[in-house]
Amino acid sequence: MSRPTKALVNLQALRHNYHLAKQLSEGRIIAVVKADAYSHGATRCAQALNDVADAFAVACLEEALALRDAHIEQPIIVLEGFFDISEMGLIEQHRLDVVIHCQQQLALLTASSIKQPMRVWLKMDTGMSRLGFSPAEYRQAWKALQSLDFISEIVMMTHFACADELTNIKTAQQLEIFKAQTSGLPGSKSIANSAGIIAHPEARAEWNRPGLMLYGVSPFPEHHLIEQSLQPVMTLHSAIISIKDIPVGQTVGYGGSWVAKRPTRVGVVAIGYADGYPLHAKEGTCVLIGDQKAPLIGRVSMDMITVDLTDLANTQVGTPVMLWGNNLPVAEIAHCADTIPYQLLCNLSRLPVEYINEPILEPSD
């Protein structure tokens, strides 16, 4: 029997969340599938959205080429753009959109020998202080792109720093800067990420870029009504592989940090930080066994965790365990580990992924 640990990915839930983003934004939706679709499997997720997605977004050229190899024909936007002029041939050959965010990229693009029409996404740094032209240099960059014969379209974009903090005024400030510096420039815009789509209607534009919400996870640190509409796409499963009874005073796990205060039934679950379960999950972090929660005891190990089964008399070796999914949001586990859902999803490794509820797609012409 193989190790029972696996991720179950519901592709119909993915499509549901895509349509929800589309309904909220009323614009075109770019499905963000970078980082292997947050460990959900970029190729399979893109194929499941193939007939509905307006475009896909990835971080780098390698991720884009993997989608093209999987026969994804919709526009693919490379969010970090290119790093060297040697990439330009592949970008042109595979009809990729690129983000232009700095003078060096602009110079490389100007020096390239591209002949095919290309859409580019010109990024403004409105306060993230990461990628993008400053507001003062943005218009000049736009004019430089506009002068290139092969540029067919310039989409103006920015990225929010605090859209998930609902009372933070920085989002409004960023939006004001962006609108002021793009005023009068022709072309479509892309502003809203998941949090922007949900909570900032004024940020919804012609192109919108949901990431986390596609996978059924709220982007907000506090509870939000959107959780009632999102459908979790991934369920992380394992099983009990050992059970033992320990007396009062016995310790559990590395460092002996957890000490039994009562006779305790300890269950060992086949998952650990090498699989992506958070190393710093606190004691008391819950797993779900049937419809009952069992708390984590002791430290997370490389391949295993230990949970308190004392109050769950019917559990035995082989009993299934859910680490997150329906009725146990990944955001709850992230909170218990002092991290964010993005990190938990993206850190999954060595786990087999099983896909369910695959959509029936019409063959393309």
In whole angstroms, what is the distance from residue 123 CA to residue 142 CA? 10
Choice among 143, 244, 254, 282 that is catalytic: 254
Closest among 18, 1, 95, 8 to 351, alpha carbons compared: 8
Alpha-carbon distances, residue 218 vs 42, 198, 214, 222, 231 (angstroms): 20, 9, 9, 9, 10
**pLDDT of amino acid 313:** 87
Residues 6 or more apart whose CB falls under 8 angstroms from that of 3 comprise 270
101-129 burial, b for 16+ CB within 10 Å, e for fewer?
bbeebbebbeebeeeeebbbbbbbbbbbe
Compute CA distances 101 → 4, 156, 180, 206, whole Å.
44, 11, 18, 20
**Cβ–Cβ under 8 Å, residues 218 and 210:** no
170 is catalytic: no
Is the distance from CB of 213 to CB of 219 less than 8 angstroms? yes
Pick the catalytic residue from 6, 22, 34, 123.
Answer: 34
Query: Helix or strand or coil: residue 159?
Result: coil
Give dist(CA 24, CA 32) in Å, integer: 16
pLDDT in tens, 201-245: 999 999 999 999 999 999 999 999 999 999 999 999 999 999 999
pLDDT tens per residue across all 365 residues of the chain:
589 999 999 999 999 999 999 999 999 999 999 999 999 999 999 999 999 999 999 999 999 999 999 999 999 999 999 999 999 999 999 999 999 999 999 999 999 999 999 999 999 999 999 999 999 999 999 999 999 999 999 999 999 999 999 999 999 999 999 999 999 999 999 999 999 999 999 999 999 999 999 999 999 999 999 999 999 999 999 999 999 999 999 999 999 999 999 999 999 999 999 999 999 999 999 999 999 999 999 999 999 999 999 999 899 999 999 999 999 999 999 999 999 999 999 999 889 999 999 887 665 54
Burial category of 43 from C-beta neighbours within 10 Å (exposed 0-12, middle 13-18, buried 19 and up): middle
The answer to whether 277 is a known catalytic residue is: no
pTM of the model: 0.95
Give 34-56 pLDDT, tens digit per residue: 999 999 999 999 999 999 999 99
